[in-house]
Amino acid sequence: MSVSATTHLNFHGDAREALDFYASAFGGQATISTYGDFGMPAGLPDTDKVVFGLVFAPNGFSVMAYDVPGTDSPRAVGTTRRENGTTITDEPFFIALRGETLDEVSGHWDALAEGATIVEPLAASAWSAGFGMLTDRFGVTWAVSVDAAQG
């Protein structure tokens, strides 16, 4: 018997774009269904928004997302600010992405970094061969690291 958890992200109109971006970044496939696909009448404001979205990649990466109904404009999930020359990220959560080697996580880092705010550059740390944090262009913060057991 096993159990797994998948991160589920909530967006305000840009879930489809985010899911396509994550599929590209991780070499996966996006599966997307809209409220209209599940019977919402055409012409209503949320008909074309994502009610179920999933990215699954052969390497085991997965993430789910949807558009919160009744919201009209995209909004970032969290906030990042500069304070005394330091980037501070006020987030209710991060996504922790771990890989076995620096080469493995570097490719994903580079893809996620497109349009992102770098909180901490990906570099060797006291506990890992590579650790970094960024807030992607959708407002999701990623903590990327090499598994300490391997690093």
Split into its structural domains, the chain has a count of 2
The CATH number for 90's domain is 3.30.720.110
Domain range for 120 is 79-146
Residue at a domain's end among 47, 67, 87: 67
Tell me the C-alpha distance between 15 and 68, whole Å.
9
Domain membership flag for residue 36: yes
Among the residue ranges 23-37, 61-75, 76-90, 111-125, the one predicted with the least confidence is 76-90
Q: Give the distance, in angstroms, between the CA of residue 7 and the centroid of all CA atoms in the same chain.
A: 9
Together in a domain, 58 and 99: no
The pLDDT of residue 38? 86
The pLDDT of residue 150? 43
Domain membership flag for residue 101: yes
Together in a domain, 87 and 40: no
* pLDDT at 77 exceeding the cut of 90: no
**CA dihedral sign, ordered 70, 49, 47, 28:** negative
pTM of the predicted protein model:
0.74
Contact 88, 108 (CB under 8 A): no
Together in a domain, 62 and 113: no
Which percentage of the chain shows pLDDT scores above 70?
80
pLDDT band at 72 (very low <50, low <70, confident <90, very high): low
Model confidence over 100-119: pLDDT tens digits?
A: 999 999 999 999 999 999 98
Contact 129, 136 (CB under 8 A): no
């005394």: which residue's tokens?
84
